[in-house]
Structures are given as structure tokens and as C-alpha cells.
Amino acid sequence: MTASPWRLSVAPMMDWTDRHCRVLHRLITRHTRLYTEMVTTGALLHGDQGRHLDFDAVEHPLALQLGGSEPEDLAQCARLAERWGYDEVNLNCGCPSPRVQRGAFGACLMGEAALVADCVKAMRDVTTLPVTVKHRIGIDRQESYEFVRDFVGTVAAAGCEVFIVHARNAWLDGLSPKDNREIPPLRYEIVHRLKREFPQLTIAINGGIKDDETIAAQLEAVDGVMVGRHAYHEPWAMATWDERFFGAHAPATERGAVEEAWMAYLDARWQQGQPWALAMRHALGLWNGTPGARRWRQVWSDHRLKSLPPRQVQAQATAARLGALEAA
């Protein structure tokens, strides 16, 4: 049996999972599904489409995450996703930020299952790409399983076959987005129950997952696991994934090879006149867990070095890392 395309993925994260970040992740795992940051329908329909949608072919498989709640707008954006060559369109029904709530999308859409169903249907009518939904297990203090069950049931009836479930509620009344990723308790059993009661749907679980043993255990209960912050902060943690979860060769067996390929990427952009720091910030955790990692990160974060070519900074960072290694 071939693995579900949703078996492992890196979560959509605003300001984090941009094109540069996704290229870095691809140097470490080829098979993990990647997601863009959320792009709102307004930004796509009225803004610079190339800036929001362009990506590099190495980023496949890649999903575009949309934020919006107007079926017609979402349909237009789904068309764009297909034209640009994405592999999936994902609707954000889990983001609790006040800005998103004012736009009446994100997590508050969980209270409007019929509207989400209309959105999914409108997108499915215009694209052959899978249309998927990322959501929470509830909003505010609504903790009954029936609430999320009815949401999934209603949206599935409109044709959505893949649900990515962040296994905690979104508290829309006063918690910051950051607190909303930490304070509402994780309740994995709710997601497992969804899978048991909707066996025909693809259900992926998300929230607080940090190691391969937990991923493997979750895959016994659901079809997929989505990892967010851990993958971002500790990118090398993904180095085991292709072999362990996809039975495939990993693109790199050591961090040095990833660093080298990443430097080539930064250098190529530098040659075209682009600063490296915006891309490099995503790689600052590459050596985490090894002696000298902190020194390496400090050099790359040093504002005084930002105007140097990346290879020169790399030389300093490596010297600092290895110096710390020797001192250890």
C-alpha cells in the first residue's frame, strides 16, 4: 500500500514557512508535504499574485493555504492554485487571531459549518486539486465531541475528504494566537475518535508533536501527522523522516551537506543582489543539539555581518562552531 500523501507534513506558519524555509526543508526531507503560509483571498485577488504564489519546483508536494470565507472568492483562488501548479488547496478554519476573526474566517468558521461546506463545494467545482480543511477540535469552551463531529460531517458531505485537525480548542475571547497554541489543552483522543467514526476520510493530527516515536504512535491511530514548531526550530529532526516514514532515501545524511547546499542557495541569491538574512533566519536551528550550535547561530544573527557575502559569514560561523567544539 502506498503512503497517504498526508502521512507527514510541516504545518503552515505565517512569517515562517515562506519559500526560503520550504527550500531548506526540502534539503532535509523530500516526501514530507509542505504548506505555504496562509494567504487571504483578498491579498490574492487584489494583490501581487506572483509574490504570493510563486514557488520553486523542488518544493513539491506543496499545498496552498487560503484564508477566506466567501465561496466565490475562494473558488477564484483555487483556480489560481491550480494554474500555479500547487498540489492541494487548504482552507484555514483554525487561526484564532483577532485580525482573522474580524475578517470572519479562520477558527470562527468552525461555528459556521454550512458556510465552510459552501466554500469547499465552490472550490471543488472549479478545481481538480484536493480541497482540504485545517481546523481545531472546538471553539471557545465548546468541548463536546459532537461539535467537531458535526463540523466534519457537514464539510465532508460537501466533498472534503481530508481534515487536518489541530487537537486543541481555539479560545476566541482574549487569548493571543501564541497562547492559543499553548494554553487550550491538547486532546488527541478527539481526533482519534474522528478517524474511527469517519474511516473513509483522511484525518491528520496536529499539535505538540515533537519526536519520531510519537509520530509513529499517532500513525497507528490516524492517517497523517502535521508538525509545526518543532520542525521549524529543529529542522534536522526531519532528517529521519523519509527513511522511517516513507521507506525512501533521505536527501542528506549529515548536517554539513545540508549547510553546504543551503549556502549554495543563499549564494546564488546574493549574486542576484538579494540579502541573505531573511532566508537564513529559517536555518538558525540547523546545528541545534550539537556543541557549538549557539556560537554558530550567534554569528549568523550578528547584525554587523549582514552586508557580507554569505560565504564569508559561513566561514566565521563555522570557525566559531568548531572552536566551541574544541573547547568542549
Ligand X SMILES: Cc1cc2nc3c(=O)[nH]c(=O)nc-3n(C[C@H](O)[C@H](O)[C@H](O)COP(=O)(O)O)c2cc1C
* Catalytic residue list: 95
Closest residue (Cβ) to ligand X? 228
- The 3-state DSSP class for residue 41 equals helix
Is residue 11 part of the contact set for ligand X (CB under 6 A)?
A: yes
Is residue 37 part of the contact set for ligand X (CB under 6 A)?
A: yes
Given candidates 5, 184, 228, 310, which one binds ligand X under the rule CB under 6 A? Answer: 228
- Do 160 and 79 form a contact (C-beta atoms < 8 A)? no
Is residue 319 part of the contact set for ligand X (CB under 6 A)?
A: no
* Amino acid present at 134: K
Nearest approach in angstroms of CB 107 to ligand X is: 9
Listed residue (223, 204, 280) closest to 35, CA to CA: 204
- Do 133 and 101 form a contact (C-beta atoms < 8 A)? no
Footprint of ligand X on residues 270-309 (CB under 6 A)?
none
Is residue 208 part of the contact set for ligand X (CB under 6 A)?
A: yes
Footprint of ligand X on residues 91-120 (CB under 6 A)?
92, 94-95
Annotated ligand binding at 42? The verdict is no
Distance CA 222, CA 225 (A): 8
Task: Reduce the secondary structure of 108-141 to three states and give it as a string.
Answer: HHHHCHHHHHHHHHHHHHHCCCCEEEEEECCECC
Instruction: Give the DSSP H or E segment for 221.
Output: none
Q: Give Dmax over CA atoms of the chain in angstroms.
A: 62
- Count of alpha carbons within 13 Å of 309, Cβ hemisphere only? 11
Footprint of ligand X on residues 137-166 (CB under 6 A)?
166
- Number of amino acids touching ligand X (CB under 6 A): 23
Given candidates 12, 138, 235, 310, which one binds ligand X under the rule CB under 6 A? Answer: 12
Nearest approach in angstroms of CB 230 to ligand X is: 6
Distance CA 280, CA 268 (A): 13
Which range of residues in 41-49, 88-96, 111-119, 296-304 is near ligand X by CB under 6 A?
Answer: 88-96
Chain residues that interact with ligand X, rule: CB under 6 A: 11-16, 37-38, 65, 92, 94-95, 134, 166, 181, 206-209, 227-230
Binding-site annotation: residue ranges for FMN: 12-14, 65, 134, 166, 206-208, 228-229
